[in-house]
Amino acid sequence: MSPMSGFFTRLADRCRQADSLLCVGLDPHPADLAEPTAAAARAFCLHLIEATADVAAAYKPNAAFFEALGPEGWRVLQEVIATASAEAPVILDAKRGDIASTAEAYARAAFERLRVDAITLNPYLGHDSLTPFLADPQRGVFLLCKTSNPGAADVQDLLLAGPPAEPLWERVAALARAWNERDNLGLVVGATYPDALARARERAADLWILAPGCGRMGWVC
């Protein structure tokens, strides 16, 4: 695997190597920990990485659970990312979304400080909010398109006037294709909506899709 290859090339290489499309969420929910501490979160995540190292196509730590543990949680997140990166690409589940210098700061935090391979972003501030994250083709971005929560329909299913008329989330998929200038942009479509997943694949056949499941496991395809 060339160190200069783009993010999705590296992800595809890992999928072939592991013969898997499995994306493992690293989400140290307090209820799943022996105690509500950063040390317990570290032990939980490292055990999960060890148990899935041969089958994981990617790992997806959720920043919120680590940030909630304070400064020590941030240090644990860095260690978890470093450990997971030795096995497979790491996608930071942060769902960032902002503009200008704030977006640039978020991008530096993810790619330079935490050194993740990719990040999830909220696209609803438009293309300029994504630009700092898309500048390096070796770093990937997954845009929230059709998310798995029940309330997603409140906004994402709003019907836009045509022609053709289409739900907002389908317009996001179409925009993502146009914005994918460096082949490092994909979509997030919840596996809880298989019909939407199929439609997203039709609208954006050339984009990778991150499909979170109901639990910690999801897929990249």
Q: Is 145 exposed, middle or buried (0-12, 13-18, 19+ CB in 10 A)?
A: buried
CA 159 – CA 153 distance, rounded (Å)? 10
Residue 30 near residue 36, CB atoms below 8 Å: yes
- What are the DSSP E strand ranges found in 43-193? 56-61, 91-96, 118-121, 140-146, 159-160, 166-167, 185-189
> Is 146 a known active-site residue?
no
Which of 53, 55, 85, 95 is catalytic? The answer is 95
Q: Is 163 exposed, middle or buried (0-12, 13-18, 19+ CB in 10 A)?
A: exposed
Lookup result for tokens 């039709």: 202
Question: For residue 31, how many other CB atoms are within 10 A of its CB?
Answer: 6
Tell me the catalytic residues. 95
